[in-house]
Each structure stands twice: as structure tokens, then as C-alpha cells.
Chain A
Amino acid sequence: MKGKGRVISTLLVANRGEIARRVFRTCRDVGISPVAVFADPDAALPFVGEADAAVRLPGNTPAETYLRVDAIIDAARRMGADAVHPGYGFLSENADFARAVLAAGLTWVGPTPAAIDAMGSKVAAKKLMAEAGVPVLPEFDPDSVTADDLPILVKASAGGGGRGMRVVRELAQLKDQVALARQEAESAFGDGTVFCEPLLERARHIEVQILADQHGTVWALGERECSIQRRHQKIIEETPSPAVDAEIRGRLFAAALAAAKAIGYVGAGTVEFMLAANGELHFLEVNTRLQVEHPVTECVYGLDLVAWQLAIAEGARLPGAPPEPRGHAIEVRLYAEDPAQDWRPQSGTVVYFDIPGVNSEFTVPGEFGLRLDGGIVSGSEVSTFYDPMLAKVISWAPQRRSAARRLAAALHDTRLHGLTTNRDLLVNVLRHEDFLSGDTDTDFLTRHGVAGLAVGADETAVKASALAAALARASGRARTSRVQRGIPAGWRNLRSQPQRTAFEVGGERLDVEYEVRRDGLVTSLLPDVALVAGAPDAVTLDVDGTRRTFAVRVYDRLVEVDSALGAVSLTVIPRFADPTEQIAEGATVAPMPGTVVRLAVEAGQTVAAGAELLVLEAMKMQHRVVAANSGTLTELRVSVGQQVDAGAVLAVIEEA
């Protein structure tokens, strides 16, 4: 490794969002000056302002920005950086980038390019591991898969983070799924190579954190279980794993250390395994970088892994043995996505974000507590161009159950306004009896049903929240109206009908009728409800004899209501629809903002309900847009490559 022994003074972080902030945090702790690079959509994110210097990478897509080796090296040079930290994703496992960094005379915070290369191809990596005695799964060429091999998993050889990964259970789907996986892999990693593996069912994802110095010392810093996944992407990670006992841990560590030594690994890395229901371990891959879920290991081991990465790059030696682990840590990934709508990524503005009771950010809490590693703050924009992860929340407690309880409560009480997130799903998983008893595997969500797990506030809570929203708005209007300020809201000397507000909540229309009379609230919405106190930002209701306070925030048409009953997000349905803005019957609209990557139909042709019309790519995932009804496609308003906004009319089908 070049640059051995050289002290880093200025570090460029070739990444964005929370991981950039995470690395900056350590830079500040150790006295290194951090430099950021940023793409145009990220210009206003906190990480840009937190660096000592920030260099713009003009453009939007990863290929134009965070994947631009030349631009990043150039930025490092211009800023006088003497080292580059790649974070995770993007160029973090790109050996050519590592070589370019080293060739530019800079310190590369990571393993050698050779080690990255050895692990970069999953296909080659498995071969190497098998030779080193690490247990591996067989693999198939995508073109020679037979029915007997099914079910299989198609994976991107250069992949990570679940992208380019597809399950195939029927041979008929194979071609399409492989094609989609290749396209996604090409888009995400610039390499469309894919391979297939048997799909292990009811297995757990277990990985071992490795930390190795340049002097031959390798630590195995415990295992992490990351079985709770959606679309093969981890959303809950923890250490230690409830399924790993001393015997399994022994095998895990031995295999991980063998893997690390086989490639002369240096720095922080992760060796991933599948733990089958029968106790067998299968090597998956080595991630030659810092993992998203590294904070759980940091909490339990009381370490700063980024500080060690930097120190190792500077030539430092690890002590002979790692520290003793203490307690249990669980991390959740808070995503801007809608689990109930096939995990549809959300974009837009996070108008408000607050997690109560956070003890530390980007660092281990002084004692057991809550850690937040967030990429966004109130007011941040979430674009369609990158991963929609908003923040990681980590709970560290003496026991697993207490960690889960604290984390679930913190998430439940989190105020996150403006975007749909997976928060309710995370809370429900953390409070699920099977989760709490450690019965976790990679099919957890599918087995327990995403629809059920995604449910937040119940019907009464939604109605009470909607009522609170209407009353808070009424109170706000009475206080801020241009005229008659202070006159009671909705006052009438002759009452002919109630006030009415219509909301959209969870895709459904909810009509709220209410009258605040001299003798109290009258509403048809709930049978037993009374108004205790009403203000523009808080409404206290007595619901079925229980007093509850609802915090209400109004952002134009969006109304966010938070209470102990759960967060409810409502959108006001305007009283009047402008006829010129009405969407034609039979129109298919974009379900999310994105780019049209493929058209499956042509104008004038006949389509059947459910037929694929086109494919939209958003957040690096491809989404099929299908015909809602059968008929003639009279209009196709978009072309390949076109960027569309959510709600834009894509096509019009005239019913046959």
C-alpha cells in the first residue's frame, strides 16, 4: 500500500449524504480537514456545508457525478487533499478508482486495488474463497439455468445493495429478469455482468466485520445479522445475531479471517454469509469497504471504525486483540419509500425531521442510548437520482429486547413530514413477537406480509387525526385570516350544515364534517369525541373517554399529524377541481418521478389491462407501468430518455 506512514491532513470524501457526514465527523474528531464533492441535486444537503471545502460535480446522474473518477481526482488535487475516502457504494469497490487515487500520489483509505479486484467480481471471489476452504454456494451461468435449479437468484457480479438482484421461480421469467438485472447493474455499477445462485429460503444474512492493519493483524469484530431485507436490501441490522452461538461464531470468525487473509486484506471490510436453517454457512461475498451498518459494531465494541480506517491508512498498528463487546445494538434504515406501494421510492422535500431523544450523531453514545446517522435535515430535498435512504437510527442497550423497544419508541415518536417513509414498517417489525424472539430470516417481511407490517395508525387514529387536522386548520384560519380575525371559526347565527374538509390519506378519501358550537364539537366522523382544546399547532381531543393531544403541522395542502396513536399524513383535497386540470379518463400517469427507459407499446395499438406500457427508472430501480384498462392506446406522450414528474400523463387508453 502506497502512502504508508503518511499523515493525512486533508481528506476528500468521494461520497454523499449520511456517509459523507459520518466520515467528516471523525475528521473533526482527529483534526483532519474534510473536503466534499457534490452533485447538483445535493447542493443544499447538509454534508456539503459541513465540509471545509466542497467541489461541485456538475450533473445529476451517478455516472455524471459520483462515478466520475477523473473529476474526483481533479477535485482532490485542486483542494490539496492528501487522501480519499470512498464511503460505500459508488466508487468504493472500484479498483480502478483506487489505482487512480494512488497514482495521483494520494492515500487511498481502503484495501489494496488487488484485494478489491479479487473480490470485485463475485464470480471470481467465490472461486478464490472455495480454494481457501471457505464454504460457498454453487453458481450457474444465466444462459444454462434449468428448471431443476429453481428457485434461483440473479445477481450483479459487481453488485451490492440489492441492485441488479432478481428472484426467478419460473423458467419463463428467467430471460426478462436477467435482462432487467443486467440493465440495473449496468446503470448502477457500469457493469452488466450477472450470475445465478440457488435461492436459499429461510436463511439468515450474517456477516463479520473485519479490521486489518498493514502489519498482518486481523480482527473479527463480531457478527452482524442483516436478515430483515426488502428487495434484497437490508433495512434492519444488529449485533450480535440472536441466531449465532459460540460454536457458529467460531466457524464464522474462522471463515472470515481465512477470507481476509486469502486476499491480504487491509482496512475495514465485511465478509458476508448466508446461515441456512440447518446451520450451514455459505460465503456470499466480501465487501471491501465500510458497510452501511457499521454503527452497530461501533456501539457494541466502543470503536470508531472510520478513525481506524484512517489510522490504518496512515500505517498504524492494531492492538493484538479487539475490545470486548458490550450490549446489543440495532440499526434501522429509514427510507423515503412506500412499503405498501411495492416499496415505491418517494422524492420531494422532507419539510420537517426530528427524532426525539437522540444521544449522539455519527458517533457512539457515551452510554447506552440512541445514535442518529442522518443524511438529511428539515427542509432537505430527496431527489430521484440516488438511494432514498434518509437516515440510520441506532439503538444500543444492554439487551436485545431493550434495544428494540427503545428504537421502536424513538421511531414511533419521530416527526418526519413531507414524504412517505418505511417508518411504520420498521416500528412494526421491531415490535413483532417473532422479531423479538429472534426468529428472523431473509423472508421475514414476505412471510409476515408487508401490507400488514406497513400499517401505521389504525382507523380511529386516522379519523381522530383528520379531525384534529381540520380543527387545527380552522383555528389557524380564525387567527390569521385577513379579516374578522378572532371571530370563532365557522361561526353561523343560523346553522344549515357543518364545515367540510376532505383529505386524502393512504390513497383514500376521508371527508371530515365538523361544527364547533357554543356547547362543543359536533361531528359525524367519530361516535364519541369531544374537543378539549384547539390551536393551530395542537388539538386535544377526548376520544372514547381518553384524552389525546395531536400535534398538527400544516404545509400548504399537506397536513402532518403526530400523536401517541401514530403519525398520520393527510393531503387536503381542494374543494374545487379546475376543469382544465382534470385528467382525461383512461390516462395513465407516472406513479413517481423518473426517467422513461423503455417503451413497450406504440400509439394506436390495442392494449389489454395489465399489459406493460413502459418502464420508468427512478432511484436506480426499474418500475413497470401497466395499462389500467383495456382499449386503444390513443396517445403516448413520452419517449425514451424523457424525465417525467409524478402525476404526468404518460399515455391515454380509450376504452374499447
Chain B
Amino acid sequence: MAKILDQPRYKCALAAMQTVQAIPGAIPILHSGPGCAAKLNDNNGTSGRYSPNIFPCTSISEKEVVFGGSNKLRSTIENALKVIDADLFVVLSGCTGEIIGDDIEEVAGNFANAEKPVIWAKTPGFKGNNYVGHDWILKSIFEQYLAEAEPEKEKGLVNLFVAPPQQDPYWLGNLREIESLLTAIGLKPNTIFGFGRGLDNLKKIPNAEFTILVSPWAGLESAKYLQSRFGIPLLQYPVLPIGASETTKFLRTVQDFTGIDKGLVERVIAEKEAEFYYYIERFADTLLETRILGKRFTVVSDSEYTIAVTKFLVNDMGLFPEKLFIVDDAPKAFQQKITDEVNNLNYGIKTEVQFTTDGHDIHEQIKDFDFAGTPLIIGSNWEKKLAAELGAHYVNVSYPMLEKLVINDHIAGYSGGLHLLEQIFTAAMSKLKL
């Protein structure tokens, strides 16, 4: 059913073309209108080897709406293979192609013997947003690209997936940080996104001993697929670990799940925690003795960050959550679990959680909260104006992010917690520095 989407904080399934774009060597071919990709490409960091100007596109026009677009798709794929120097072509369908009933599976199937692999995924915008589109695309890639051959298991190899590329502005920095944590405890993380990764790692996926998905719900279907097809045990860790408490918990959970050397894991934890608290101690006066940072905060973000930021601020920093807002259109089936997870906090601290896409209503509610001091609002660009109106401290961590640039920064892990603190206290200090 149609519903009000006011202050959009997600895009449509086709926007998960950015998941393909994040795999070096892979390029999407769009069976969509000419402007879909340009519109969906509203994040920074997308002018890599293949930007949307390079994505082959059938540019569906009235003619295809009337007569069908399969022929246009065929010629587009055929010529894309000649013009574009890529190693994997992923055909994605947008709304119009799906409504008029073009069969992209059949058309892509005609290229089964092409020099480069051509695979497909249905991603019409009306079927879901880019969090689910991300999952569908990964599953399609796993189904169609991974070889049938018997996997050669590699000791310690762990497939790692975190957040949808680009939708999470910190996607790559966080992924690298979690990779480095896993490496530190003796595992060999296998990721497919970003510099130096790509198709070789993708091919290695079946060889992994485990898959770790750090996500409350997005990406679960594709990760489970790896479990069912290749028998790779899946650890779904629903909290993006930020700061000491949660990162330590994460590493212990990974140790428990994989059975790796407990002594090593505990040594790494001890050292990382000590380092984290070295900084906290040095800056404790700054953190504690500001006159204008209260104890209460709210988060308006996707499931991932609402859980992650809340855990960090409550369990590491001693703050309290006001009502929280989850804006990623998380499927009903996951909502209770997410609510329970957010409320699993120190000292039995609880808060209300609302799943909504009505940004205006969210802001009206926040205006009525009693923050008992200067409010702290963690959210997206949409919260900037609200924060200004309330005189609140404000940090943008999630999409849309328009007035802030993240290149390879991270807020996950021990050091990520410090980075998030830098941003919160920069906001506070820019208001009043005594």
C-alpha cells in the first residue's frame, strides 16, 4: 500500500546498483529509464572506474513501453560487452521494464556463452527499497556467478558483509575496520567490496569456513543462501560494534562461533580496550566537563545505526536514549527483534522505538521531548534543520549526507567509537567552548 514517505532516507531497489558498483570489475547494465541512475546516484564517492555515466542503460522510452523492451536490452548488452572493459555484467531491471513484462532472465540468458559473464537481478523500485535490493543483488550474484564445483575449504577464511555500499556513508571504512579486527584475532576475512577486493574474492566465497553478517536485517537473505547452498555456517551479529563494550562483545561472539584461539582473542581485546581507554582517559575532562552536553539523545536512522549508536552512547558513555526512530522501512518480521536488541542496554535502561517513514511527524515528536538539557540528535541531513531549531547538537551518520564528506573514515570498532566522539564533541564545542 502506498504510504507517505516524507524526508526520504532510503531509495528504491534499483539504487542497489551501488552494490554492484562497489565490486571492482563489476558493472550494472540497467533496463530502466534514462534518468534512474543519475537520480539514484546522489551519494559522494561514485566517480570510480564505472560511474553512472558509464552504466549501459536501455533508456526505456514510449516505444518500449508499447512494444516491449527486450530487443533494446539485447542490443544494449551485446554492445556493452564490446565497449565496456569490465569482468562482470549485472543486468538490473527498473520499474517500467518489469511492469511491461520484459523477461530479463531470458535476454541475459542469451549471453551465457559470452566472453564475460552476464547475470541478472530483478530490482524494480516498486518491489522494495535499496536495503532489500542490496540483498537481492547479492543473492543473484551468488546464485549465478559462483561455480558449481566442490568448494576447497580454506582454514580461517570468513566471508564478511556489513552494510549496503553507499547507502551507509561509512560502508567502506567500517568494513575495513571490522576486517582488520578479524585479522587481528587470527581469521582471514574475505570481502568483495572496495579497493583491492572484487571478483577473485567473490569466487572464494564458497571456500570460506564461516560467513559473518554484521547487520540487523539487511543482507540476511543472501547470507542465508550461502549457508543453504554451500553449507557455510552463518553468524548474524545484529549490532554494528561501535566503541569498547560492543566491539569486545562482538569479538567474543566471533571467537565462540568460530572456535578460534581464545587466548589470542582475549589478548587482542585487552590491548584494544587499553588503547581505547588511553584516549578516553586523556580526553575525559573534555568529555565530562562540557557545560552544554546533556545526558539524553535520540537517533533517527536505519536499523543498523539506531541500534549501534544507542548501544555505544548508553553502554560506553553513560547517556540515555529518548524515543528512537527507525526509518529504513525494516520488514515487519524483524521489527520486534530490532526493538528488543535496541533495548538490551546496561542497567535495564529502556526506550520506545518507532518504525516510520514520516519525517515531519518524527520532527514534531522530537520537538516535544524533554532532553533535560541540550539535546543530542544523531541522524541524517534531514535532522540538521531540526537541530538548529532546537539548539541541539547534531551529528550526521546516515543517508542522506549532503553537507559532510566521508572518504574512508569509520565509526565502527574501538577506534570508530573515538571518531564518533570527535564528531559529537566537535558539534558541542562549536556551540560553546569555555
**A-B interaction:** no
Q: Mark B residues whose CB is within 8 Å of A.
A: none
